Amino acid sequence: MMIESPSISDSASFVDDIVFSEHVIKLSPDISATGAKNRLHHTNTIKTIVAMPAYNEEARIADIIAGAKLYVNCVLVVDDGSCDNTASIASSLDAMVVRHEVNKGYGKALQTIFSIARDLDVDELIIIDSDGQHDSNDIPRLLAELRNGNDVVIGSRFNGVKGEGIPLYRKIGMKVLDIATCLAGNGLEISDSQSGFRAYGKKAIDVIHIGEEGMSAGSEILVQISDYNLKVAEVPIRVRYDLGDTSSENPILHGVRVLVSILKLIILRRPLPFFGIPGGLLILLGLCAGVCAFSGFYLSEQFYPIIFTGGFALLMPGLILVTLGVILNLLMTVMNNTGLSKECTP
């Protein structure tokens, strides 16, 4: 049964098909969200939903869906352009399935999830990975903290535990990304900023709007959490690293890409310290080198051209960085005052 239906307005046109039970709702990109919401509400009201992005996860997704259904009445699977049987397996298990015709990335999958959650007017949203690394039995622990008055609950691999089983290079990379995320936000300190296992209450679902398409979307969400002063809690979770290679991308390359995306956020949100601090250090070193060169000439009448040239070489980029930081900071201040910054934030 094919039904023409409007798209979800705040997520543009990235939702292509929704499969629920035996119905397929085709979303077109040119109408508002109201009609789509009415069409989706042919089901009973859904208060708690478990959602998972999925890309070629036919080997493990059935177990994750079965485990999640023990704790909620609806499971949403975002099939992000899979070329295997991920969507058909999920649909056969009575999951709600959203298909992207092509692979659009983790951030786009999260956009779809939050958009559908808003359209269904759910009260609680749990996002879990579909690769089998997370334990569905931890869902009640996240929900318990959410219902204890928190807006967001993060399943942490390091909260109360030492990250047993996590390779050392991953721990180092995670810590770097944690620090970068903290710098991008308003000092929100999270022990596991890259966790894909999180629970969101209604307030968080309503205010979080993701712009990033890649894996850094998780950090972008934390930045928005700090902007809206949402109440956050962390609970320890179990993660399996004995399942072989669950990612299609090299973990080091993946970490570098996430870091670059977070740095973009820092540049847009903190241009003055981002450019001003290293620029100021270069200026200080350049001035010190110049003073040494001239004091040496004054005391011994011997000029040190290498020290002088080196100081000048440090001074010029330092001045450029500070000037750039000041200009970008002024621009961002103007944009914030005129309400344009959100439109330009990735």
Tokens of 31: 């109408």
Half-sphere exposure of 134 (CA within 13 A, CB side): 31
Say if residues 226 and 188 touch (Cβ distance below 8 Å): yes
**What DSSP letter does each residue of 22-40 carry, written as one string?**
TEEEEEETTS-HHHHHHHH
20 backbone dihedrals φ, ψ, rounded to 5°:
-135, 120
CA gyration radius, the chain: 24
The DSSP bridge pattern shows strands 96-100 and 17-20 to be antiparallel
Token match 């968080």: residue? 204
Q: Which of 202, 190, 321, 199 is nearest to 262 (CA)?
A: 190
pLDDT digits 0-9 by tens, 63-83: 999 999 999 889 999 999 999
Q: 104-130: string of b/e by CB count within 10 Å (b at 16+)?
A: bbbbbbbbbbbbbbbbbebbbbbbbbb
pLDDT at 112: 93
Sequential pLDDT tens for the chain (346 residues): 332 333 333 333 333 444 443 333 333 333 233 333 444 444 456 689 999 999 999 999 999 999 999 998 899 999 999 999 999 999 999 999 999 989 888 889 999 999 999 999 999 999 999 888 889 999 999 999 999 999 999 999 876 555 556 767 777 877 888 787 777 777 677 888 888 899 999 999 999 998 776 667 888 888 889 889 999 999 998 887 766 555 556 667 767 877 887 788 788 778 888 888 899 999 999 898 888 877 877 777 777 788 878 888 999 999 999 999 899 888 877 876 775 555 445 4
In angstroms, rounded to a whole number, what is the distance separating the alpha carbons of residues 245 and 53?
17
The DSSP bridge pattern shows strands 48-54 and 2-6 to be unpaired
Nearest 5°: the CA angle 319, 323, 325 is 120
Question: Positive or negative CA dihedral for 219, 213, 63, 143?
Answer: positive
pLDDT at 22: 35
127 backbone dihedrals φ, ψ, rounded to 5°:
-110, 130
pLDDT at 269: 78
pLDDT at 293: 79
Q: Name the β-bridge partners of 2.
A: 24
Q: Which residues are within 8 A (CB) of 242 and not within 5 positions of it... i.e. 6 or more apart?
A: 165
pLDDT at 250: 66
pLDDT at 244: 58
Tokens of 139: 């869902």
In angstroms, rounded to a whole number, what is the distance separating the alpha carbons of residues 253 and 256?
5
In angstroms, rounded to a whole number, what is the distance separating the alpha carbons of residues 93 and 114?
22
pLDDT at 160: 57
